Amino acid sequence: MYLKSQVFKHFSWVFIALLLLSSPLLFSEKSFLNIWLNQHHSFVLDQFFKYITYLGNGWVLLFVLVFALSRNYFLSLVFVLSVLFEFLLVQIVLKHGFFADIVRPIKYMAHSDLLHKVPGVDISTLHSFPSGHTQTAFLVFAFLSLFCKRRFWAYLLLFFAVSVALSRVYLLQHFFIDVWFGALIGYLFLVIIHLLFNKYSHLSSHPKWGRGFLVKKQN
């Protein structure tokens, strides 16, 4: 079962530790981290977060799917189902359903016109909870860790995922609570879908389902 891979285990343990260590911020003033990061802005951070946030865009899912299809059809199916169910939950049920009226930082904070804004970034005002970019990033990078063999990749992939989450706060697109739950949802859905398909896990080593279009067929 791929969830037992050492790289995914390291990704998971460090991720869980980060969630627990950062959880006290959930009880602070909603815009605390936005204001703190805004006060410590710099040109380097502006450029880093402006571009790293693109790793949470929906088009990244297409590249990851092509990569997965080249390696393992069974895991590709798990990935597609995870994406579909997360889209239904995050985009339809939560962001545009139960929490449709929750505004984003730029509209929530008083004197927002005095805040530093990164040039070239369009800041949204509605549908704040949860963060779709963060959910996508953690789903994608947790999924990619299933293919890795060296422990180094667990930390690198988690670094990218956390950077996307922080970018959403730094760019005034989301509150900390949005990205915290976005990260949790992205990770959990991958795990849940994989566990639901556990009884079919033998397909991951099946001559047909256990390979991708770049993997040679075993005789």
Q: Is the pLDDT of residue 181 over 90?
A: yes
Whether residue 39 has pLDDT greater than 50? yes
Report whether 127 contacts 102 (CB < 8 A): yes
State the Cα–Cα distance between residues 215 and 217, nearest whole angstrom: 6
Cβ(51)–Cβ(115) under 8 Å? no
In angstroms, the CA 168 to CA 37 distance is: 11
115 DSSP assignment: S
Contacts 24+ apart (CB under 8 A), 42-46: 45/170, 46/118, 46/119
pTM for this predicted structure: 0.90
Per-residue pLDDT at 197 exceeds 90: no
Residue 69's Cβ-side half-sphere holds a number of Cα atoms within 13 Å equal to 7
- Is residue 217 predicted with pLDDT exceeding 70? no
Amino acid letter at 218? Q
For residue 196 the two structure tokens come to 């639901």
pLDDT tens track for 61-106: 999 999 988 888 888 888 998 899 888 888 888 888 888 889 999 8
- Asked whether residue 219 carries a pLDDT value surpassing 50, the answer given is no
Contact at 8 Å (CB) between 87 and 158?
no
Residue 13 to residue 18: CA distance in whole angstroms: 9
Location of structure tokens 């380097």? 44
Rounded to the nearest angstrom, the gap between the alpha carbon of residue 45 and the centroid of all alpha carbons in its chain is: 20
Rounded-to-integer distance, Cα 205 and Cα 188, Å: 24
Distance (Å, rounded) from C-alpha 146 to C-alpha 3? 7
CA-closest candidate to residue 116, choices 105, 125, 126, 127: 105
Single out the residue of 141, 138, 191 nearest to residue 165, CA to CA: 138
**pLDDT exceeds cutoff 80 at 33:** yes
Q: What is the pLDDT of residues 155-164, one digit of tens each?
A: 999 999 999 9
What sign for the dihedral angle of Cα 152, 3, 95, 87?
Answer: positive
DSSP state of 219: -
Q: Is the peptide bond before 130 cis (omega within 30 degrees of 0)?
A: yes
Written as six digits, the tokens of 48 are 């880093």
